[in-house]
Amino acid sequence: MTQEGEASGSRAPALRRGRTSAVAATPTTTAAQVRTPRQSSGYQSAQRRKRKRRAAGNPRRKSASEEQEEEVSSAGSSPLRELDVPDEIYDLNDPGIWNVIDKAEAEIDAKLARRTAWATLNMRMLRGSMCVLDDPKLVPDRESARKAVLNAAQSFVGLTSSVGGKPLARSCGFWVHWDEEKKIGTVLTTSRLICTKSPSSSSWLGQEEYAIDAEVLVHLRGNTTEKAQLQYRQKHYDLAFFKVKVDQPVHILPFNDGVKHGDQVLELGRDEQSFLRISHGVVRYSIENLLERYHYMHVDGADQHAKYGKGGPLIDFDGKIVGMFNGNTRGSFIPSSILVKCLQLWRKFQCIPRPHLGMKFSSIKFVDIALAENILYMCNIDDGLIVKEVSQGSLAERLGIRDGDVIGCVDGEHISTTVELENMLLGKCEDESGSLNSKVDIELWIFHIRKSLWRSRTLNVNVSDDGEVVDKGVRCCPWKRELSETPGSVPCPT
């Protein structure tokens, strides 16, 4: 049997052969029954009387014996040792002896199981592979990273959801608010935790369905859970706020909203047993994925198969939050600059409003360098956002904006990335009343690629906290158009 403190999650073979020395098993009396014949009661009584006479005649020895007994009893449990079965036992065909051995083995197994309750002896949570903190190629300063992770670990939890008693999803989340008077903490996580249906691979079609009455549990340390109540869900950013009754103040991490290309970051998550899981990565520039929202940044991770960080924090080596993993694709995360603005709007208006432009974009900064050179040569443009899709029937489409056009400025400010655009749109709502179902003016300085002309266009667009839908539509075949124009049918778009 492995000694206490040895880093192993499985015990050695329970039976040890070829040893003639009497190494005590657990319990000692059971092993003694296996090794030696039982002494007569008269012999045992004589031995006890002899020990009593010696103890009575030597008070100092009695005192030392009592002290030794007290020390042993204060240990809380007997030492865990390997069961020693002499070789000759294997040659005996005595069911009684083997019943005793089986009982001793069962007691050892039970003792092993109880060991997992002690933090220093619970080896079941050990990874099969090396932790990223131990890889000098990934983490140049292990001690600072270790301290950052252990500090951040206090700030995030695991969550699970169910509908009608059936498990739905699991995620991570981190504390963003604490109400000292009511003893209520607020957890920010992904709304995918309560998503019941997502029929399309494109987030821009807005076809997701949610169970807002799903039962959500927050898994706290110490194998305890608390029910969480949904406070607010923001569909466009896939965010959900849950309030949780907790006895102690929650630990809230600061944000670093200046994350940039090349920064080393750590993705934190919790597995099914709420144990800490870590993945390392480097922030990179990446062309936008047209199937997911364009407010994401991306990270190249050392562990491409990590699955525990959905909704969890991404931190730097100072322990500050730089983003939240929340994308449809591996490595996508919402940068903290957007998270901070979302939190400010939520605290101010109890919602997160956002103008809907009806377009998808990609950044010239992130396109292939050969394409960037061609754009510079043909259009004399080396910065801005390329219009990738325009929603059918939108104001942008009616004003003549088409795919391939370039947005150079928004409300008089130069724009380079979609994350910058998203921050501008959220800032617009913060400056305005923030009321939903209202309209705001967005001024665009736009290059019409087909006419090779710069023009100013003002969009009077809706403000909503719902998910923006951008659908460029389809064009019907002529024979389908003729069919759709029959009486009672819906006209087909041209």
Do 425 and 439 sit in the same domain of this protein? yes
Do 111 and 224 sit in the same domain of this protein? no
Do 63 and 193 sit in the same domain of this protein? no
Dump pLDDT digits (tens) for 67-108.
555 555 445 667 777 788 787 777 777 888 888 888 888 888
- Residue 460, domain CATH: 2.30.42.10
Residue 43 scores a pLDDT above 80:
no
Do 218 and 326 sit in the same domain of this protein? yes
pLDDT at 281: 86
Binning pLDDT at 50, 70 and 90, where does residue 24 land? Answer: very low
Residue 26 scores a pLDDT above 60:
no
Residue 54 scores a pLDDT above 80:
no
Interval 231-253 mean pLDDT: 96
Interval 373-386 mean pLDDT: 96
- Residue 163, domain CATH: 2.40.10.120
Domain boundary among 62, 86, 115: 115
Higher per-residue pLDDT: 115 or 388? 388
Dump pLDDT digits (tens) for 3-18.
333 333 444 444 444 4
pLDDT at 161: 97
Highest-confidence segment of 75-89, 244-258, 422-436, 469-483: 244-258
Do 325 and 438 sit in the same domain of this protein? no
Residue 124 lies in a domain: no
pLDDT at 485: 59
d(C-alpha 103, C-alpha 289), whole Å: 61
Residue 34 scores a pLDDT above 60:
no
pLDDT at 443: 97
Do 57 and 164 sit in the same domain of this protein? no
Do 380 and 432 sit in the same domain of this protein? yes
Which DSSP string do the residues of 274-305 spell out, in sequence order?
Answer: --EEEEEEEEE--PPPTTS-TT-EEEEES-TT
Interval 442-449 mean pLDDT: 97
Residue 372 scores a pLDDT above 80:
yes
Residue 64 scores a pLDDT above 70:
no
Residue 129 lies in a domain: no
Do 71 and 174 sit in the same domain of this protein? no
Contact 284, 300 (CB under 8 A): yes
pLDDT at 95: 83
Domain boundary among 314, 349, 384: 349
Residue 65 scores a pLDDT above 60:
no
Residue 493 lies in a domain: no
Highest-confidence segment of 90-94, 120-124, 352-356: 352-356
Residue 213 scores a pLDDT above 60:
yes
pLDDT at 71: 53
Do 367 and 344 sit in the same domain of this protein? no
Residue 438 lies in a domain: yes
pLDDT at 104: 86
pLDDT at 344: 95
pLDDT at 201: 84
Residue 421 scores a pLDDT above 70:
yes
Residue 487 lies in a domain: no
Domain boundary among 332, 349, 366: 349
Range of the domain at 67: 15-115
Q: Which of 128-132, 392-396, 415-419 has the lowest mean pLDDT?
A: 128-132
Binning pLDDT at 50, 70 and 90, where does residue 382 land? Answer: very high
Do 186 and 313 sit in the same domain of this protein? yes
Do 172 and 228 sit in the same domain of this protein? yes
Number of domains into which the chain is organized: 3
Binning pLDDT at 50, 70 and 90, where does residue 273 land? Answer: confident
Higher per-residue pLDDT: 326 or 337? 337
Interval 152-173 mean pLDDT: 95
Binning pLDDT at 50, 70 and 90, where does residue 142 land? Answer: confident
pLDDT at 347: 94
Residue 409 scores a pLDDT above 80:
yes
Residue 259 lies in a domain: yes
Binning pLDDT at 50, 70 and 90, where does residue 477 land? Answer: low
pLDDT at 83: 80
Residue 38 lies in a domain: yes
Interval 345-368 mean pLDDT: 94
Arithmetic mean of pLDDT over the chain: 81
pLDDT at 413: 96
d(C-alpha 350, C-alpha 344), whole Å: 9
pLDDT at 109: 82
Residue 401 scores a pLDDT above 70:
yes
Interval 434-449 mean pLDDT: 90
Residue 368 lies in a domain: yes
pLDDT at 437: 77
pLDDT at 123: 59
Do 379 and 301 sit in the same domain of this protein? no
pLDDT at 7: 37
